[in-house]
Amino acid sequence: MDNLAPVYSVNAQCRDCYKCVRRCPVKAIRVENDHAVVSPDDCIFCGTCVETCPNKAKMVRDDLQTVRNLVAARPDTIVSVAPSWASEFPGVSGAQLSAALKKLGFARMEETARGANIVSRRVAEIMALSGTHRLQISTACPVVVRLIRRYYPRFTSYLTPVDSPVLAHCKAIRGTDPEAPIVFVGPCVGKKHESDADAALLHTALTFEELRRWMVMAGVDHPERLDPDPAYSLPGDGAYYPIEGGMVRSVERNFRRYAPDADFQPMVLTGVKAIQTMLESLDPKTLEEPVFIEALACPGGCVCGPKTRVRCAAGGRLDVIRHARRTAPDDPERIPNVDRHFRPLPGAARDFSEDDIRATLNRLGKFRREDELNCAGCGYDSCRDLARAILAGFAEPQMCVSRMRQIALKQSSAIDKALPYGLVVADRNLKIIECNQRFAELMGDATRMAYDAKPGLRDADLERIVPYPQLFRKTLETGEETVRRTVGIGDRLYSLTVFTVDLHETVGALILDVTESERKRQALIEKARTVVTNTSKTVQEIAFMLGRNAAESELILDSAVQMFAPLDHDDDTI
């Protein structure tokens, strides 16, 4: 599993619904051979597709066995737990959770909130002392950082040049335990990518879901029953980080230490869509005062992360606040160097000429503006977006639902016209859903005229058109697969095949005029009967003549025998 990206696809389980394409905020889903595949280079690892997929075709990499092996081999392994643990394990104290994690084999538990304290202090210092950047966008959320670096590169320079809380925490731990492996546990899928990118600092990232599974396996799934770990200590106000405004609260407190009277304009944005809207509309050059944006990819904050137990922002917020209120501001004297500079990530160009886009739209059967329905059935917001995705190799023409429907209707129409059969499909109330022209012609002039006025005769009463509706009702009631009959309508004969389309709901029929073929069949039968009769008569005549000849022959032969037979005498003569 180690060679997999944090989010990957299981093609065998994909059902081509394009729901993941529709929900992916950056369209990082490549459709290949009718299967939706996550593109690791384009993915921001928000976990939306994993939550969205109804068939579990999008999966998060499972790192549990990797961590279990690590803990077994390295008893000095330290675990950094995201501050959102308070909402994941309500009713459990930090000391009890620490005791449970020690039972799993970790040397000790620390809260990632300690790293958050360091980040808040450094961000506040940059905001207060630097006059070059009027805008700072938080880098606490790895999903937001990747979103900006990959899709909004012009904002990369506005990312606070500071490590994320977990990496800052890892650096702090390294100051006292330089060799100990560090494992992160939290609600985030993006942290797995962060650990992949900084494996020297952060060995592995587990989700709360993986931790809970491990706790069940180890029999410590009720940490509230454990004795508290006396070595546990409360973190600082970084414990507020997983809720909306939690980072702002911590950063502003530190900012006032450096610049008590300076302007500080905080903003809080949660949810990728809201962040994208801001990035597409904000011009940093227009800002007149320092602005700090706390940006979190999950709506409601980390308490609503993709791998949390309960997705209630209100309940999770209250749980976090209850825990954070017990803490005190943490101002560590020794702060590691947590400066980090971000560069844009290279991305595949998706800008194409208008001629290329127009040619692709034509392939989709869209020759005019009004043909562009922008229905989003393909997963893209507009037909032009789909055309660009096709040109980029991320989509296939058959993803266009309206186009495929048009093709299906044309094919169906062509087949209907070529069929010698009349075809009709009706619902459980025997209201026509669809029929072809041949059916209307077979049913008489009135039906044909009605078809000319309303092709398909949708919602027409089948019982008023066909003389044998009971065959249709029988098939609907019994669910019998096929009923074949030869029926007469007027002076014509028809072969009628009634079949089930949807059990007890929809029924169909094929009707073929067999009058001429039936007449020919009857004529052939009559001729065959004539041949049989004549043959029988001939045989009888032959038999009679043979019998008479045999009798005459017998008489002649008997006469001859009598003529040459010896005479009988009573006594011998000499």
Q: Is pLDDT above 80 for 133?
A: no
Residue 562: the pLDDT is 77
Could you tell me which CATH number the domain at 1-61 has? 3.30.70.20
Taking 80 as the threshold, does the pLDDT of residue 332 lie above it? no
Strand partners, 32: 35
- The percent of residues in the chain predicted with pLDDT above 90, rounded, is 62
- One CATH from 1.10.1740.10, 1.10.20.60, 3.90.105.10, 3.30.450.20 for 419-513: 3.30.450.20
Q: Is the pLDDT of residue 115 over 60?
A: yes
Residue 568: its pLDDT value, please?
55
Side by side, the strands of the sheet bearing 108-111 are 108-111, 78-81, 182-186, 204-207
pLDDT at 1 over 70: no
**Regarding beta strands 291-296 and 265-270, do their DSSP bridges make them parallel or antiparallel, or are they unpaired?**
parallel
Token reading at 372: 């562009």
- Domain 350-418: CATH class, spelled out: mainly alpha
Which residues have C-beta within 8 Å of that of residue 45, sequence separation ≥ 6?
Answer: 6, 7, 142, 143, 146, 189, 190, 192, 193
Strand-strand pairing, 58-60 and 7-9: antiparallel
Helix axes 165-176, 113-129, angle to 10 degrees: 110
Crossing angle for the helix pair 142-151 and 272-281, to the nearest 10 degrees: 40
Cα separation, 338 vs 335, in Å, equals 8
**Residue at token pair 């019994």:** 478
Which tokens sit at 574? Answer: 């000499």
User: What is the DSSP code (8-state) at residue 153?
Assistant: G
- Domains in the chain: boundaries: 1-61, 76-324, 350-418, 419-513
pLDDT confidence tier of residue 573, bands split at 50, 70 and 90: very low
| pLDDT > 60? residue 569 | no
Mean pLDDT of 423-439: 93
**pLDDT value at position 335?**
85
> Sorting pLDDT into bands at 50, 70 and 90, what band is 132?
low
Amino acid, single-letter form, for residue 533:
T
Q: Is the pLDDT of residue 384 over 50?
A: yes
Over residues 523-533, the mean pLDDT reads: 80
Decide whether 1-61 matches 350-418 in CATH topology. no
In angstroms, the CA 339 to CA 160 distance is: 9
**pLDDT for position 57:** 93
Copy the structure tokens of residue 133. Answer: 């950047």
pLDDT of residue 2: 41
Residue 397 has pLDDT above 70, yes or no: yes
Give residue 47's region: left, alpha or beta (phi > 0; psi -120 to 50).
Answer: left
Q: How many residues does the chain have?
A: 574
- Backbone region of residue 27 per phi and psi (left: phi > 0; alpha: psi in -120 to 50; beta: other values): left
Q: What is the mean pLDDT of the chain?
A: 89
Q: State the average pLDDT over residues 203-211.
A: 97
Q: What percent of the chain has pLDDT over 70?
A: 95
What band does 166 get if pLDDT is binned at 50, 70 and 90? very high
Query: pLDDT for 49-86, tens place per residue?
Result: 999 999 999 999 999 999 999 999 999 999 999 999 99
The mean pLDDT of 86-98, rounded to a whole number, is 95
Q: What is the pLDDT of residue 358?
A: 93
301's CB contacts (< 8 A; 6+ apart) are 84, 242, 243, 244, 246, 270, 313, 316, 317
In SS3 terms, 472-540 reads as HHHHHHHCCCEEEEEEEECCEEEEEEEEEEECCCEEEEEEEECHHHHHHHHHHHHHHHHHHHHHHHHHH
How far apart CA 302 and CA 63 sit, in angstroms, is 20
Q: What confidence score (pLDDT) does residue 62 get?
A: 96
Q: What is the mean pLDDT of residues 298-317?
A: 86
Helix (H, G, I), strand (E, B) or coil at 124: helix
Categorize the per-residue pLDDT at 452 as very low, low, confident or very high, splitting at 50, 70 and 90.
very high
> Tokens in use for 111?
């809260």
Answer whether residue 364 shows pLDDT above 60. Answer: yes
Task: Tell me the per-residue pLDDT of 237-254, one tens digit each, with 9 for 90 and over.
Answer: 899 999 999 999 999 988
Whole-number CA gyration radius for the chain: 43
pLDDT at position 239: 93
pLDDT of residue 108: 96
> Mean pLDDT over residues 509-531, rounded?
80
Predicted confidence band of residue 349 (pLDDT cuts 50, 70, 90): low
447 has a pLDDT exceeding 70: yes
Rounded Cα distance between 237 and 147, Å, is 27
The answer, yes or no, to whether residue 468 has pLDDT greater than 70, is yes
pLDDT digits over 2-44, tens only?
A: 468 999 999 888 987 889 999 999 999 999 888 899 999 999 9
Place of tokens 């006059």: 131
Query: 434: burial class by Cβ within 10 Å (0-12, 13-18, 19+)?
Result: middle
